[in-house]
């Protein structure tokens, strides 16, 4: 193989790794649909609902009771989130909240539920 072929192989491998790292399931994450998410929210007494969208997205409408910690700030604010509570995460489509769950898992959180499909799949009320 010549140098150009090696470079192509390396670039393709890096691209595959990048896509996989964004799409891979988070081990131990409770990833549920909107109906199950809403049911678990109502059943859980000691919960923290976190919207990981950016502030301007949050202001357009959020699930009642949610606090806003954007994905871009989740690592720096992880120490402020109580590890003993059930954490419910959501974003617009479910991708950023899954990334946030991975960050929280790496920081020792074990009780995390993610809204699959994000707020786009939510059928309940929204607050503004």
DSSP 3-state assignment of 70?
Answer: coil
Pairwise CA distance, residues 15 & 18, whole Å: 5
Helix (H, G, I), strand (E, B) or coil at 16: helix
CA atoms within 13 A on the CB side of 37: 27
Active site residues: 91
Sign of CA dihedral 119, 109, 30, 72: positive
Overall size of the chain counted in residues: 128
């Amino acid at each position: 193989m010549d140098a150009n072929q090696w470079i192509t192989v390396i670039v393709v491998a890096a691209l595959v790794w990048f896509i996989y790292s964004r799409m891979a399931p988070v081990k131990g994450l409770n990833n549920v649909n909107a109906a199950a998410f809403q049911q678990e929210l109502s059943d859980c007494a000691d919960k923290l609902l976190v919207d990981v969208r950016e502030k301007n997205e949050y202001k357009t409408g959020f699930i009642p009771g949610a606090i806003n910690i954007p994905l871009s700030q989740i690592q720096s604010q992880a120490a402020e989130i109580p590890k003993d509570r059930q954490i419910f995460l959501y974003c617009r489509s479910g991708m950023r909240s899954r990334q946030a769950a991975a960050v929280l898992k790496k920081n020792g959180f074990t009780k995390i539920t993610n809204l699959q499909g994000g707020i786009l799949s939510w059928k309940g009320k929204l607050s503004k």
